[in-house]
């Protein structure tokens, strides 16, 4: 069986930046399970996984354009400190999640500077502008169920229903 759209795919991944530092990894943990062809992974990685089989292992370098996107300076904004009045001990580097303005999905928010009255927030993905260096091992491939296809995500561990 080869990876194609509408398959539930399990992979182990290790993600490094260009300096060779590990940013994220599933090794030593459960494999990541995703629904192929639904944008669950960054585009460059889904493209590379297409047609791979169980047991395949490979390295791939993905440019920001095919990863988490290039940085957009207009997404760095100052907001009144009142917006964070519920947060104790606000610090530079803190991350939150917020509803996207179009209502579609969740945006990560990083605090990048603090002033007396204003907080500078960055709505870019923390990995925007980064070249992604993945090592991937394909662990399992199966056809997605009808429910999974209807919901657009894989069921099983971590699913809320």
Q: Which residues bind Zn ion (CB under 5 A)?
A: 151
- Tell me how far, at minimum, the Cβ of 155 lies from Zn ion, in Å: 6
- Tell me how far, at minimum, the Cβ of 45 lies from Zn ion, in Å: 22
CB within 8 A of 72, min separation 6: which ones? 124, 128
Rank residues 81 and 151 by Cβ distance to Zn ion and give the closer one: 151
| Four-residue CA torsion sign, 100, 36, 137, 129 | negative
Rank residues 71 and 151 by Cβ distance to Zn ion and give the closer one: 151
Contact 148, 111 (CB under 8 A): no
Rank residues 115 and 146 by Cβ distance to Zn ion and give the closer one: 146
Tokens of 48: 């590379």
- Tell me how far, at minimum, the Cβ of 124 lies from Zn ion, in Å: 29
- Tell me how far, at minimum, the Cβ of 127 lies from Zn ion, in Å: 26
Contact 141, 71 (CB under 8 A): no
Q: Which residue is nearest to Zn ion (CB)?
A: 151
Q: How far apart are CA 113 and CA 50, in angstroms?
A: 41
Rank residues 135 and 151 by Cβ distance to Zn ion and give the closer one: 151
């Amino acid at each position: 069986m080869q990876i194609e759209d509408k398959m539930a795919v399990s992979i182990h991944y290790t993600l490094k930046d260009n300096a060779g530092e590990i940013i994220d990894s599933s090794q030593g943990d459960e494999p990541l399970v995703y629904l192929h062809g639904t944008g669950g992974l960054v585009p460059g990685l889904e493209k590379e996984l297409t047609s791979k089989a169980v047991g395949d292992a490979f390295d791939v370098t993905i440019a920001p354009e095919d990863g988490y996107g290039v940085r957009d300076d207009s997404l760095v904004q100052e907001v009144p400190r009142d917006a964070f009045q519920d947060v104790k001990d606000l610090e530079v580097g803190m991350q939150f999640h917020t509803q996207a303005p179009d209502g579609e999905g969740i945006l990560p928010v990083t605090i990048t500077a603090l002033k007396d009255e204003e907080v500078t927030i960055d709505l870019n993905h923390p990995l925007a502008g980064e070249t992604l260096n993945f090592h991937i091992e394909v662990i399992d491939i199966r056809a997605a169920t009808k429910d999974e296809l209807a919901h657009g995500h894989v069921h099983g561990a971590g699913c809320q229903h």
